[in-house]
Amino acid sequence: MSRTLISSGSSFEREIGYSRAVVDGDWIFVSGTTGFDYATMTLHDGLREQTEQCFRNIETALAQAGATLADVVRVHYILPNAAEFAECWPVLRRHFGDIRPAATMYAAGLADPRMRIEIEVTARRSRG
């Protein structure tokens, strides 16, 4: 079993000291991922737009690990305002509606007040 660190190139990873994802054998642990576009280091205001960018960021990390969203077995959603959770359900359903990973939603403060959602996933590469 080997351990591989995956980076998005975000300055946050270097400044804080973490990896976008860690691959350990068939398991992939993707760090809490926000709606920042890491190429431009910009963040949309809207919750739906941030949620879509979270998924783009997660898909990129999973692809680097040889996986896709279909391999996700667990997801944590973290929102500063729990009352806004339903607003992003259409985006969540589009990406996970058929996959249906085990899920938990937390209401908690995020590192930057502009952040409206953070998504963390655990995936296991298919053996096929």
Residues 4-20: what's their mean pLDDT?
Answer: 85
pLDDT of 83: 98
Strand 21-24, strand 3-6: pairing = antiparallel
How does pLDDT run across 14-62, given as a tens digit for each residue?
888 898 999 999 999 999 999 999 888 899 999 999 999 999 999 999 9
How many structural domains comprise the chain?
1
Look up the CATH number of the domain holding residue 46.
3.30.1330.40
Would you say residue 8 has pLDDT above 90?
A: no
pTM of the predicted structure, to 2 decimals? 0.93
Instruction: Give the chain's mean pLDDT.
Output: 94
Domain that holds residue 43: 3-124
Would you say residue 128 has pLDDT above 60?
A: no
